[in-house]
Structure 1
């Protein structure tokens, strides 16, 4: 689902107005020598707005907490980092369509937040902190765990688990099967099951294992990590949507 640009910009604009500093007027007849300034909005109103704005920033500028300066100005206005990030995000939203048209072929964009919930739930926190390789590993673990939950198994995991659940063989005691399409005895059915098992093995052997077991690997570029998340998203969707044949006692 693409972002509602008009809504997001309105929320950012509202937040910027609420967090603007001003000098309160001195009550009539009183003399006050103070440089203290306050935000336009009250504390509760600003915090409520920030809750929404942070989610917009996470979507538009995923690394804003690390990349937007959070320096001495915070002693004057605790929202200084949020305000600069909001201004950057507003500019990005305003010119996003123009930039894509001018610099690229306007191809569809891949967003991690639109992937299967198992994948994004597993990856989200690490992704936002820029740990892309670890985020892919966490997503792989989440898909494995949810698959184990679906078929009620703890004795097998990852490649062995998926080879078992996607096997073309009939279910056995303690070995349920997942069917991506009805078993009509056709070559298509056999091809789909074999392909799903091979795809799952590839995800864990070629993506998850190197990410987890090889020390000193450089950080994955974000676009490559997105591609790897997409692979696990495909697998997660197959598992969730597959019909389950319970193991025979």
Structure 2
């Protein structure tokens, strides 16, 4: 959340609502009429959706209510103005509030997860569709892995199994290899571990998100995204190893290029 931007938007909205109220009536208490207030009323209406988004980001449900209501004498802005003032007060002292009230336990920020995961999950996550967000992230991981390896004939756990197979690469079947010497114990452990982790992630996280229609809680969904994110980061550290091109193929290619 961009705190400074939110504070600016809320302050502008409150100032505009105050201006509308101050101009709605003459010194004698007579309503000036809708036509005279139309420019201010239009601007308030235009700002309302943005302010609702900010309010809901500060506190879920705070922006659910209609901020501006049509009355006998113009627009009633008191509810929206009060909600905006509440949010503005919180944001101005947010750092202080969090420093004094939050748990000392470490916290995870979803937008710092691996891009393959978060970019796919973000829109669904923001609308609180957590199971669908996990499913989208799993699908994204599979798609990126297919793109990386050029494999369209296999997917999910089968794709992971073949990518991290201990067998040598074959034509059209490249392998992913963890950095290091193949004889080292760490190398062998990471190769086997990544194969098992990837298989498990697709067979449990993706399958459950796809076939189990029960909604996930936010924290549990975040744990699953974090698992996928870790897998993505380790995959990115691997090298893609392809089978050597046969000699006759290389010759043909060279001849074709020279033609």
Length-normalised TM-score, structure 1: 0.74
Higher relative contact order (CA 8 A, sep 6+): 1
Which of 189, 195, 198 aligns to 1:197? It is 195
Task: Check if 1:34 corresponds to 2:33.
Answer: yes
Please list the CA deviations of residues 102-122 of structure 1 after superposition, one character each: whole Å capped at 9, or x if unmatched. 444333321211111121121
Higher helix share: 2
Q: 1:133 to 1:32 in 2, by over 3 A?
A: closer
**In 1: Cα distance, 2:210 partner to 2:183 partner:** 39
SS of the counterpart of 2:106? coil
Give the counterpart of 1:224 among 197, 214, 220. 220
> Which among 71, 79, 87 is matched to residue 66 of structure 2?
71
Pair 15,175 (structure 1): closer, same or farther in 2 beyond 3 Å: farther
Partners of 2:236 and 2:80 in 1: how far apart?
Answer: 38
Q: Which runs of no fewer than 5 residues in structure 2 stay unpaired? A: 246-259
CA gap 1:98/1:162 in 2 versus in 1, 3 angstroms: same
Q: Give, in whole Å, the separation in 2 of the partners of 1:80 and 1:147.
A: 53
SS at match of 2:198: helix
* Aligned-residue offset at 1:220: 1.4
Greater Cα offset, 99-108 or 223-232: 99-108
Q: Report the number of matched residues.
A: 235
Distance 1:80 1:141 in 2: 46
Report the CA distance shift for 1:191/1:145 in structure 2 as closer, same or farther (over 3 A).
same
Is this contact kept in 1: 2:56–2:63, CA < 8 A?
no
- Measured in 1, the distance between the counterparts of 2:99 and 2:153 equals 51
Distance 1:125 1:7, change over 3 A: closer
Q: Deviations over 1:63-113 (max 9, x none)?
A: 55xx52233725577x99987775554344334334434444333321211
Structure number with bigger Rg: 2
List per-residue Cα deviations over 1:184-211 (Å, max 9, x = no partner): 4211111111111111122122222112
- Pairwise CA distance, 1:33: 4.1
| Deviation of 1:152 (Å) | 0.8
Inter-partner Cα distance in structure 1 for 2:189 and 2:147: 26
| Alignment RMSD | 3.8
The answer to whether the 8 A contact 1:19-1:39 is kept is no
2:184 is matched with which residue? 186
Q: How does 1:48-127 map to 2 (within 5 A)?
A: 60=58, 63=60, 68-71=63-66, 73=68, 75=70, 87=85, 89-127=87-125
2:165–2:175 Cα contact (<8 Å) kept: yes
TM-score where L is the length of structure 2 = 0.71
* In the alignment, structure 1 residue 133 sits paired with structure 2 residue 128: no
